[in-house]
């Protein structure tokens, strides 16, 4: 059996699921959203001057959706609506700010996935949390890995999402596809990871989380 | 039994060790969000919690407390009954009465409006009676009552007899919708147990 066998190789949903179930859990420090320090993962990792600003931690969560396609696992991304105030038009994982009513970040991620793209919870099994990721915009994001059964149907909320697409895990976890992206903002050079998938560019927070996923499981 | 059902049974029949490994990898120190998981139902492997709170596997008690606590961390109440659930499988578990027993209680500010009643279960969970952990009372044998406290999700603990009697000593009579009711106050909430004029038959003792 090859390690690239779509049904059982390292880019299969089954492999990713077993890896995540073994390695991930739901433990978060009690002060995960109140600690006045930057967590190890975040936009500041490549832009150290960001840590000069006072740390803000607006609690948020995203769903890192691994779709169990028989021909090999994919991840699902959204293209955020141009109408949004934050990160408009960017490629993103479904997710958003935590509500007071969300018992856990996993609940936030699934609620947002449902609101944004109509993904029903019944299709998703959460597998655990990746390390909190601090965005340059002040969000402290808990990435929730979820295995998604491919029988789902989506209904996009046009106020939040322009489009959705899937990219193969095999592409996303190939380090040759991890590039550095540089741009200027308010006179300062900024840098993040970037993956060019067809016409689309995944960069910023989402690419940072993907890079961490690679470091954790595929390096 | 149909062939398809059998293959499911086989999948689930990795036995206790397999299930324990799955439960272990499903969580950490924090209880996993079992309410978010929707795996396929994989049948019944002979798990049962008897009314004395003891967990059994194929007729024999599971003696190891850490293993029982591990299983309790993935216990969930579904409309069809209690299940042990991981992201990838769901196994029925028969619960004779309630999955947990409340084996001890502690009271703070007894007899005041700020009275707080905390229950401890046989698996060392704590539940402070109040809006998050309501009490309910059901008719028991010979006219008595069976008190339950909500531990989490839709998982309840049945109070043992000593805890029940201790709880009754903390009771008071309050008027609710014009009726005089006997009940217990905790975290500002009043949980009625019975009509004040039926105290004798509910407790078998003079009030």
The answer to whether the Cβ–Cβ distance between B87 and A17 falls below 8 Å is yes
Q: With helix as H, strand as E and coil as C, how does B18-30 read? A: HHHHHHHHHCCCC
Average pLDDT on B193-197 reads 89
In this prediction, residue B198 has a pLDDT band, given cuts at 50, 70 and 90, of confident
The answer to whether the Cβ–Cβ distance between B36 and A122 falls below 8 Å is no
Q: Is residue A5 part of a domain?
A: no
Instruction: Reply yes or no on whether the pLDDT at B83 is more than 80.
Output: yes
Domains in chain A, number = 1
Task: Give percent of chain A above pLDDT 90.
Answer: 85
> For testing the chain A interface, which of B18, B22, B26, B83 should be mutated: the one with the most A CBs within 10 Å?
B26
Residue A128, φ and ψ in degrees, nearest 5: 140, 180
- With 0.80 as the threshold, say if the pTM is over it: yes
| Least confident window among A150-154, A195-199, B15-19 | B15-19
Q: Is residue A170 part of a domain?
A: yes
Chain A hits for B30, Cβ within 8 Å? 25-28
Assigned CATH topology for domain B3-95:
duf1285 like fold (3.10.540)
Quote the DSSP letter at residue B156: E
CA A55 – CA B194 distance, rounded (Å) = 54
Amino acid B27: pLDDT: 67
Full DSSP string of B57-96: ETTEE---HHHHHHHHTTEEEETTEEEEE-SS-EEEEEES
Q: Is residue A2 part of a domain?
A: no
Out of A83-97, A205-219, B134-148, give the one with best mean pLDDT. Answer: A205-219
Amino acid A5: pLDDT: 81
In this prediction, residue B39 has a pLDDT band, given cuts at 50, 70 and 90, of confident
Question: So where are chain B's domains?
Answer: 3-95, 100-202
Closest alpha carbon within chain A to B87: A125
Amino acid A122: pLDDT: 92
Closest alpha carbon to A204 in A98, A75, A55, A92: A92
Residue A214 near residue A64 (C-beta atoms within 8 A): no
Q: How many angstroms separate the CA of residue A111 from the nearest CA in chain B?
A: 11
CA distance to A8, A12, A13, A19, A167, per residue, from A3 (Å): 7, 9, 13, 14, 19
Range of the domain at A50: 13-217
Amino acid A127: pLDDT: 94
CA A126 to chain centre: 13
CATH number assigned to the domain with residue range B100-202, chosen from the 4 options 1.10.620.20, 3.30.420.10, 2.30.270.10, 3.10.110.10: 2.30.270.10
Closest alpha carbon within chain A to B30: A27
Closest alpha carbon to A79 in A217, A216, A212, A198: A198
Q: Is residue A3 part of a domain?
A: no
- Summarised one tens digit per residue, pLDDT across range A122-165 is 999 999 999 999 999 999 999 999 999 999 999 999 999 999 99
The answer to whether the Cβ–Cβ distance between A104 and B33 falls below 8 Å is yes
From the list B25, B30, B33, the residue facing A27 with the nearest CB is B30
CA A6 – CA A16 distance, rounded (Å) = 12
Closest alpha carbon within chain A to B23: A21
Q: Is the ipTM of this structure higher than 0.90?
A: no
Amino acid B5: pLDDT: 43
């Amino acid at each position: 059996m090859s390690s690239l066998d779509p049904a059982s190789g390292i880019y299969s949903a089954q492999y990713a699921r077993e890896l995540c179930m073994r390695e991930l859990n739901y433990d978060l420090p009690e002060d995960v959203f109140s600690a006045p320090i930057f967590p190890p993962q975040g936009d500041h990792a490549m832009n150290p001057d960001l840590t000069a600003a006072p740390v803000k931690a607006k609690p948020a969560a995203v769903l890192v959706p691994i779709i169990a396609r028989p021909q090999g696992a994919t991840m699902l991304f959204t293209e955020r609506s141009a109408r949004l105030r934050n990160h408009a038009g960017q490629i993103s994982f479904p997710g958003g700010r935590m509500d007071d009513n969300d018992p856990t970040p996993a609940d936030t991620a699934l609620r947002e996935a449902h609101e944004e793209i109509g993904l029903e919870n019944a299709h998703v099994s959460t597998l655990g949390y990746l390390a909190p990721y601090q965005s340059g915009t002040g969000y402290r994001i808990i990435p929730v890995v979820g295995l998604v059964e491919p029988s789902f149907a989506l209904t996009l909320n046009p106020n939040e999402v322009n489009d959705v697409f899937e990219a193969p895990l095999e592409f996303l976890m190939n380090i040759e596809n991890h590039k550095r992206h540089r741009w200027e903002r308010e006179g300062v050079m900024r840098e993040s990871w970037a993956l060019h998938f067809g016409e689309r560019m995944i960069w910023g927070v989402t690419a940072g989380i993907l890079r961490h996923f690679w470091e954790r499981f595929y390096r | 039994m149909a062939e398809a059902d059998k293959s499911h049974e086989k999948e689930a029949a990795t036995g206790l060790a397999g299930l324990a490994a799955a439960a272990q990898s499903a969580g950490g120190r924090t209880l996993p969000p079992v309410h978010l998981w929707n795996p396929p139902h994989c049948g019944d492997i002979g798990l049962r919690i008897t009314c004395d709170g003891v967990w059994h596997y194929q007729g024999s008690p599971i003696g190891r407390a850490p293993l029982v606590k591990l299983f309790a961390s993935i216990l969930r109440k579904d409309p069809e009954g209690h299940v042990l659930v991981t992201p990838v499988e769901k196994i029925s578990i028969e619960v004779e009465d309630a999955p947990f027993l409340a084996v001890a209680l502690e009271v703070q500010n007894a007899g005041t409006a700020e009275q707080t009643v905390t229950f401890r279960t046989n698996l060392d969970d704590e539940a402070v009676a109040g809006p998050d952990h309501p009490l309910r009372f059901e008719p028991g044998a010979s006219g008595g009552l069976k008190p339950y406290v909500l531990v989490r999700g839709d998982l309840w603990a049945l109070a043992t007899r000593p805890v029940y009697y201790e709880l009754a000593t903390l009771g008071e009579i309050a008027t609710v919708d014009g009726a005089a009711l006997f009940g217990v106050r905790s975290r500002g909430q009043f949980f009625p147990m019975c009509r004040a004029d039926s105290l004798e038959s509910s407790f078998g003792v003079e009030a």
